[in-house]
């Protein structure tokens, strides 16, 4: 795996925006973006990252993240989904809360997890349809989940035809009847069993050019993984999965209570921090609501 170093100055470059007005598209020359994001698949352009709001979680206590309720005011986490549009194909990274959550428009208690409320304003499928970006859950090239907890695989059963990129530890749990794991609901991922699959035992460079790489980072679940991206203007970026839930978890290497293997998680933290040091990558803690509020969400994209 070769990862190029990029200048930090690029991290703060301005986000590009998809402009859906066909009138404007006709007038704006080479900067125009097709309404059908897949139609320019052969163009020599960089990777684009779309960020979606795929729900919120609210907690009575942050103890499950190994945080005392006195040391943080955080009680709410964002649950994002991402689509990476590479000239050679599209990747869905993380699948948000279960789409059925959107049937009720307000906070609702999680029936399986006491003290946790969830909310989803609009399913990813509906967002994609309404934004008309040219993506749908049945037209993706690849799907990868940071791990198989319920708040990361919410659209798994709606994905058709894509190749599922999964580390062996999580793959074995999904494929085993009666597998037990906290915060894992086998019914949410049953559809993955019929997708084409690439089972991974380590890092994986999806398109072979170093720009979209899965980094094996086990511990939170047996097959937890993070995503490394190289964006031309934004620079290198890592999407954390649940390696960290808050900044405190990162700065103090605080492993959450919901976690399969503490030693593995600590090693994965070291591995990812080393990668950050080597590449100058930014790290987006996926569940960080304060960070999310500063991001441009789809139809805008980062490139």
Residues that bind Zn ion (CB under 5 A): 151, 242
Q: Judge contact between 242 and 224, C-beta under 8 A.
A: yes
Residue for token pair 């301005």: 14
Distances (CA, A) of 280 to 4, 175, 201: 10, 37, 25
C-beta closer to Zn ion: residue 47 or 77? 77
Q: Closest distance between Zn ion and the C-beta of residue 236, in Å? A: 23
221 contacts 169 by C-beta, under 8 angstroms = yes
Residues facing 278 on adjacent strands: none
What the block records as the tokens of 247 is: 């900044």
- Could you tell me the smallest distance in angstroms from the CB atom of residue 201 to Zn ion? 23
Closer of 56 and 90 to Zn ion (Cβ):
56
Give min distance, CB of 154 to Zn ion, in A. Answer: 11
The helix/strand/coil state of 136 is coil
Shortest separation between residue 188's beta carbon and Zn ion, angstroms: 13
Q: Which is nearer to Zn ion, 151 or 288 (CB)?
A: 151
Alpha-carbon span 122 to 104, nearest angstrom: 10
Residue 77, beta-bridge partner list: 57
The Cα–Cα gap between 280 and 219 comes to: 24
Q: How many Cβ atoms are within 10 Å of 29's Cβ, its own excluded?
A: 7
| End-to-end CA, the chain | 22
Select 235 or 241, whichever has its Cβ closest to Zn ion: 241
Shortest Cβ 250–Zn ion spacing (Å): 15
Give whichever of 48 and 245 is closer to Zn ion, judged by the CB atom.
245
41, 75, 128 from 21: Cα distances, Å: 20, 39, 16
Question: From CA 14, how far away is CA 49, in angstroms rounded?
Answer: 13
Neighbour count for residue 239 (Cβ, 10 Å)? 25
The SS3 of residue 271 is helix
Cβ 183 to Zn ion, closest distance in Å?
8
- Give 242 or 288: the residue with its C-beta nearer to Zn ion: 242
| Residue 154 vs 235, nearer CB to Zn ion | 154
Q: By C-beta, is 6 or 245 nearer to Zn ion?
A: 245
């Amino acid at each position: 795996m070769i990862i190029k170093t990029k200048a930090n100055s690029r991290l703060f470059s301005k986000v590009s925006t998809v402009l859906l007005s066909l009138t404007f598209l006709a007038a704006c020359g080479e900067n125009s973006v097709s309404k059908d994001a897949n139609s320019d698949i052969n163009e020599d352009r960089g990777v684009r990252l779309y960020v979606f709001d795929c729900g919120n979680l609210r907690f009575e206590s942050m103890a499950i993240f190994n945080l005392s309720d006195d040391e943080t005011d955080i009680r709410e986490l964002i649950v994002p989904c991402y689509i990476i549009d590479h000239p050679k194909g599209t990747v869905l990274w993380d699948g948000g809360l279960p789409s059925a959550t959107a049937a009720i428009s307000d906070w609702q208690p999680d029936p399986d997890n006491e003290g946790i409320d969830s909310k989803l304003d609009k399913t990813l499928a509906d967002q994609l349809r309404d934004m008309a970006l040219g993506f749908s859950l049945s037209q993706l090239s690849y799907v990868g989940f940071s791990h198989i907890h319920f708040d990361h695989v919410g659209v798994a059963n709606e994905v058709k035809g894509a190749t599922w990129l999964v580390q062996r530890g999580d793959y074995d749990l999904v494929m085993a009847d009666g597998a037990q794991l906290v915060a894992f609901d086998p019914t949410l991922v049953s559809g993955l069993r019929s997708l084409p699959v690439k089972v991974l035992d380590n890092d994986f460079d999806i398109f072979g050019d170093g720009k979209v790489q899965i980094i094996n980072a086990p511990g939170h679940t047996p097959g937890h993984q993070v995503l490394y991206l190289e964006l031309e203007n934004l620079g290198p970026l890592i999407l954390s999965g649940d390696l960290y839930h808050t900044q405190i978890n990162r700065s103090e290497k605080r492993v959450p209570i919901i976690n399969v293997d503490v030693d593995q998680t600590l090693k994965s933290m070291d591995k990812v921090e080393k990668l950050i040091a080597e590449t100058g990558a930014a790290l987006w803690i996926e569940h960080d609501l304060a960070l999310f509020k500063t991001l441009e969400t789809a139809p805008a994209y980062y490139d």
